């Protein structure tokens, strides 16, 4: 079950964190992983790790907010691998601030990556999926697309857009064998979290890490590998009856 043998899987933001965990798991399950990241070195490390474990993977630098670069990247994937079976729109950035403290530049930056990036990659993938008879798109949303979280105005805006883009793509293409779902994680312990704490709370990292962990009623943050398992299910043939859904993985946040 849950095999992805010979399926070409394009993953954005694959150089670290959740994206890297998904890439590694997909590689173990037989996918031909296309590891995309703005940081080419990180994408290369991800792909090399997959190959070291007998998987197949290519690394590609891609700025998901650059239309020309996205178009070239997907053209290269199709030219070299022949198809795009799975697209995981995982690349994203965070921002802390209210509507008052969020600058226009920061708002535009978050929108450009988190919203426009999903749009551009989906727009590049869908024609190929239609030509080959179908495919799967999985977007990375957040629990902030379901609830309000203090000081996350721009980030919440962007993930709400990801949620509704998911529903729209699912509705538009469900009759044409393209499924689209999204995952809505709560806090997940990634290198980004460690860097965020070091930058914003020097000397208080342990205290703030505990507070962030305790926000989840289960008492800890999620692990990237846990999100990757859910991604594997939703992108596998075993989930062929599922489209247009948002799946929280949140340690009980939405249950309280």
Task: Check residue 154 and give its pLDDT.
Answer: 97
183 in Cβ contact with 239 (< 8 Å): no
The DSSP letter of residue 250 is: -
Please, what are the averages of pLDDT over each run of 10 residues along the chain (256 residues)?
A: 97 97 98 98 98 97 98 98 98 94 98 98 98 98 95 96 98 98 97 87 94 95 98 98 98 94
Task: Check residue 90 and give its pLDDT.
Answer: 98
Task: Check residue 137 and give its pLDDT.
Answer: 99
Task: Check residue 196 and give its pLDDT.
Answer: 82
Rounded Cα–Cα distance for residues 36 and 70 (Å):
10
Beta bridge partners of 34: 10, 58
Provide φ and ψ at 153, rounded to 5°: -60, -60
32 in Cβ contact with 57 (< 8 Å): yes
The DSSP letter of residue 127 is: H
Task: Check residue 105 and give its pLDDT.
Answer: 98
Catalytic residue numbers?
A: 155
- According to CATH, the superfamily of the domain at 8-186+223-248 is NAD(P)-binding Rossmann-like Domain (3.40.50.720)
0.75 cut: is pTM over it? yes
Task: Check residue 186 and give its pLDDT.
Answer: 97
Buried b (16+ CB within 10 A) or exposed e, 164-186: ebbbebbeebeeeebbbbbbbbb
Task: Check residue 100 and give its pLDDT.
Answer: 98
């Amino acid at each position: 079950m849950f095999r992805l043998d010979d399926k070409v899987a394009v993953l954005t933001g694959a150089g670290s964190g959740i994206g890297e965990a998904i890439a590694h798991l997909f590689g173990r399950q037989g996918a031909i992983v296309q590891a995309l990241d703005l940081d080419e070195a990180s994408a290369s490390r991800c792909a090399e790790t997959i190959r070291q474990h007998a998987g197949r993977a290519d690394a590609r630098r891609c700025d998901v907010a650059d239309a020309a670069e996205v178009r070239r990247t997907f053209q290269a994937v199709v030219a070299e691998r022949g198809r795009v079976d799975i697209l995981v729109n995982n690349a994203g950035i965070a921002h802390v601030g209210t509507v008052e403290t969020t600058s226009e530049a920061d708002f535009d930056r978050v929108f450009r990556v988190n919203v426009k990036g999903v749009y551009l990659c989906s727009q590049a993938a869908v024609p190929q999926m239609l030509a080959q008879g179908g495919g799967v798109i999985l977007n990375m949303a957040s629990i902030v697309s379901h609830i309000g979280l203090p000081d996350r105005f721009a980030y919440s805006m962007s993930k709400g857009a990801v949620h509704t883009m998911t529903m729209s793509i699912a509705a538009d293409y469900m009759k044409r064998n393209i499924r689209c779902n999204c995952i809505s994680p709560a806090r997940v312990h990634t290198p980004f979290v460690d860097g965020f704490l070091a930058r914003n709370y020097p000397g208080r990292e342990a205290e703030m890490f505990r507070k962030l962990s305790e926000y989840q009623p289960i008492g800890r943050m999620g692990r990237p590998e846990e999100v990757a398992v859910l991604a594997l299910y939703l992108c596998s043939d075993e989930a062929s009856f599922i489209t247009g859904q948002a799946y929280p993985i949140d340690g009980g946040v939405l249950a309280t």
